Amino acid sequence: MMNENCSIIIDRLIEERHNKGMTQKDLAQAASLTQSVIARLESKKATPQLNTLLKVVSALDCSLEVVPIVQIQ
């Protein structure tokens, strides 16, 4: 099962794609990926590689911030 945070990121990327009026094919071309990679990403059937996420984020003209969370016990 996919990590909840990863699922949230993907939901946000889907929202951004829709906001920009892009199809999965449009996004795939802009990110130098295949449409099937975008479809797999958006279906959340597998955890995406960071490189794939970065390509998609760049193609959507967004940013991805990684913020460490420290849990104190």
- Taking residues 6-15, report their average pLDDT: 94
The pTM (predicted TM-score) of the whole model is 0.85
**Which of 68, 46, 48, 67 shows the shortest CA–CA distance to 56?**
48
Structural domain boundaries of the chain?
4-59
**pLDDT for the residue numbered 73:** 75
**Which of 1, 4, 7, 20 shows the shortest CA–CA distance to 53?**
7
**Which of 70, 40, 65, 66 shows the shortest CA–CA distance to 52?**
40
**pLDDT for the residue numbered 23:** 98
Cβ atoms of residues 25 and 39 within 8 Å: no
How confident is the model over 20-68, as pLDDT tens digits? 999 999 999 999 999 999 999 999 988 899 999 999 999 999 998 877 8
CATH classification for the domain delimited by 4-59, as one of 3.40.50.920, 1.10.260.40, 3.40.640.10, 1.20.140.10:
1.10.260.40
